Amino acid sequence: MIRPFGWNEFLFIVFAIQWTIALSAIAFVGGGIGGLAIALIRVSNLRIPRLISVGFIRVFQGTPLLMQLFLVFFGMTIVGLPINPWIAAAIALTLHASAFLGEIWRGCIEAVPAGQREAATALGLRYVSRMRYIILPQASRIAVAPTVGFLVQLIKGTSLAAIIGFTELTRAGQIINNATFRPFLVFGVVAVLYFILCWPLSIMARRMEKRFSRATTR
């Protein structure tokens, strides 16, 4: 039976934002930890770990996020470890974010002038001390804008979790659309809510990028 799109349906979609935000936050924090480890390995002199990190990045950057979600969700079931959509989405998005943030932050670390590394080495600082006190503080300033930009992409990427049954914003829209058969209205509301989530972050990323550009030209 088709029911009208009313206040309850609207609230059902709006309340699903909390799951989109929660999934984005988990993936971003987990991806940040993994990405930092990958970035540090990528700029280290450890050949084998560096090659492994390169392979990891190429796999997750060279395959669609949707396929990664399928592999985690259905792959765990095939090997006898049933997994619910929430955990599967969190794992897949965390791995995805680790690969992209690792490469972003690797580029930011390498963007720090070589003279800084040479000066730190001349002072007798070891790798960990060079990174902690000299390189990472400068690289973090460069990394702010692209990191926020990636967070916007990650929030939008959580919509793919609807494919494996996780009820976030897009999945909530699908459920209401199946009940009301008002696709333009339902997904219009979903699109507006995504815009409300992502637009402030996009503005923030652009402002930070402009601020950094002005600082470097002085």
Residue 105 pLDDT class (50, 70, 90 cuts) = very high
**Domain containing residue 57:** 7-217
Asked if residue 150 is part of any domain, the answer here is yes
Asked if residue 126 is part of any domain, the answer here is yes
CA distances from 168 to 45, 64, 100 (A): 42, 20, 23
Nearest to 205 by CA among 136, 150, 137, 139: 150
pLDDT tens-place string over residues 145-204: 889 989 999 999 999 999 998 989 999 999 999 999 999 999 999 999 999 999 998 888
Asked if residue 22 is part of any domain, the answer here is yes
Asked if residue 25 is part of any domain, the answer here is yes
Asked if residue 2 is part of any domain, the answer here is no
Query: What global pTM score does this model have?
Result: 0.89
Q: Which CATH number fits the domain that encloses residue 48?
A: 1.10.3720.10
Higher pLDDT pick, 20 / 128: 20
pLDDT tens-place string over residues 44-70: 888 999 999 999 999 999 999 999 999
Asked if residue 194 is part of any domain, the answer here is yes
Q: CA angle 27-83-79, nearest 5°?
A: 115
Question: DSSP class of residue 62?
Answer: S
Average pLDDT, whole number, for the chain?
Answer: 90
**3-class SS letters over 54-96:** HHHHHHHHCCCHHHHHHHHHHHHHHCCCCCCHHHHHHHHHHHH
